[in-house]
Structure 1
Amino acid sequence: MSGETGTARRPQATPPVTASEPARLPRQRDSTPAAQIRLLVAVGTDKHPFDRLVDWLAQWHAQAGGPVGLTVQHGHTRAPQVPGAVPFLGHDALQQAMADADLVVCHGGPATILEARRHGHLPIVVPRDPARGEHVDDHQQLFARRLGAAGLVALCETRDALHAALAAGLTDPSRYAVAADPGAHAARRAAVARVGQIVEDLVAQSTRRPSRWRAWTRPGRGAEETR
């Protein structure tokens, strides 16, 4: 009987994980130890590389004093030599990653900042710098600085500031948490929409400048010049 019982209790081999399962980053991170801090880094989808932020993150991770579960959405920036690197996340995957994260580091994109706060994070923000070829203009710097002054983001414009913020977050993630506030969320969404329109206008103006200069050199330019 004991031999038969032992045979009966022997389970079938566990079916292998499907090919689509590993691609779902939030599910991967669900398997990390409970004590591990989950850090999401998002640089957005802008076509300019953001090597500076990714390099600063990799340097910090190499020296991090505690367990960290990383998801690094690096976009058009070269892939960092850290675990959890992925070029892009779909909207749903990004929302889930933000919901699962203990800390969020991101560029100064208004939409990314808005979503991080909606999920209860005080985002650690490194704005892109146009002088370094990271964006077309300085709107991320202006926007992030204003939010930083208002206490709506943790602004980090240097490597030391970012590393200090991450070290503090690793020690106490609650320092970078905010309470859910649906009313404020709606107000911030409206504000971000206004900022987005301003940015679009600035970019449109900058792209029109060459053609307007050429129009200035041609006859019959008067009506066009006054717009």
Structure 2
Amino acid sequence: MLVTVGTDHHRFDRLIGWIDAWGDDHPEVDLLVQHGTATAPRHGEAVAMLGYDELVAAMRTAAVVVAQGGPATIMDARSVGQRPIVVPRRAAHHEVVDDHQVAFTAWMASKDLIWAAEDEQDLRRELDAALADPTRVRIPPDDGAAPETIAAYAAVVDPLIAAHRARRRRRHR
């Protein structure tokens, strides 16, 4: 199983803690955890960062991919035939600057393109289901160029960028 928190400089200790708690109950599962700036996990092989080619290769061979809600990470997983289990970073936990991952994850889940895990119980349920039926997380490789996915991402991110710019303009007056 591959767990990746992406390359954002914000810590994602919440996901690592959930993986460690689940790993306590599943010592038989081999884990590769790319933890970024978060605390290294207690279980599995821990690496702070993986190069892009290494990450995609790990995604390709993993039985299950657990990822943060970054659009690029999700699309990379799908491009190699994985339907990832996605835990979005949240601004309220200081894991990211805004909640674009929450919105994008919800949209992707509504289209049945990912499995979303909003809390630890969701993550445990999705991981257990993936182990019981590995076909749940395998899909035909997807090049990710679907126009509706790109449009949905823009619909989520563009208003966030516009709001941020408006706040900056007001502060600089």
What's the TM-score, normalizing by structure 2? 0.90
Is 1:101–2:62 an aligned residue pair? yes
Distance 1:80 1:72 in 2: 7
Structure 1 residue 124 displacement after superposition? 0.2
Q: Which amino acid aligns with 2:54?
A: A
SS in 2 for 1:41: strand
Structure 1 residue 202 displacement after superposition? 2.7
Q: How far does the alpha carbon of each residue in 1:12-60 deviate from its partner, in whole angstroms, 9 at most, with x for none? A: xxxxxxxxxxxxxxxxxxxxxxxxxxx0001101111111111000000
Q: How far does the alpha carbon of each residue in 1:41-95 deviate from its partner, in whole angstroms, 9 at most, with x for none? A: 011011111111110000000101x721111001111111122110000011011
Asked if the contact 2:64–2:130 (Cα under 8 Å) also holds between the matched residues in 1, the reply is yes
Higher Rg: 1
Structure 1 residue 187 displacement after superposition? 1.6
Asked if the contact 1:51–1:77 (Cα under 8 Å) also holds between the matched residues in 2, the reply is yes
Match of 2:160 among 199, 202, 208: 202
Find runs of 4+ consecutive structure 1 residues off by over 6 angstroms.
none
Distance 2:164 2:32 in 1: 35
Asked if the contact 2:67–2:74 (Cα under 8 Å) also holds between the matched residues in 1, the reply is yes
SS in 2 for 1:121: coil
Q: Which amino acid aligns with 1:149?
A: S
SS in 1 for 2:2: strand
RCO higher in structure (CA 8 A, sep ≥6):
2
RMSD in angstroms over aligned alpha carbons?
A: 2.2
Asked if the contact 1:127–1:140 (Cα under 8 Å) also holds between the matched residues in 2, the reply is yes
SS in 2 for 1:78: coil
Distance 1:68 1:205 in 2: 43
Residue 89 of structure 1: aligned partner: 50
What's the TM-score, normalizing by structure 1? 0.70
Residue 149 of structure 2: aligned partner: 191
Match of 1:61 among 23, 44, 48: 23
Structure 1 residue 214 displacement after superposition? 3.7
SS in 2 for 1:85: strand
SS in 2 for 1:125: strand
Residue 136 of structure 1: aligned partner: 97
Distance 2:104 2:152 in 1: 12
Q: Relative to structure 1, is the Cα distance of residues 149 and 210 closer, same or farther in structure 2, using a 3 angstrom cutoff?
A: same
Match of 2:13 among 8, 26, 51: 51
Distance 1:199 1:214 in 2: 23
SS in 1 for 2:96: coil
The worse-fitting range, judged by mean Cα deviation, of 199-208 and 55-64 is: 199-208
Structure 1 residue 122 displacement after superposition? 0.8
Number of aligned residue pairs: give it.
173
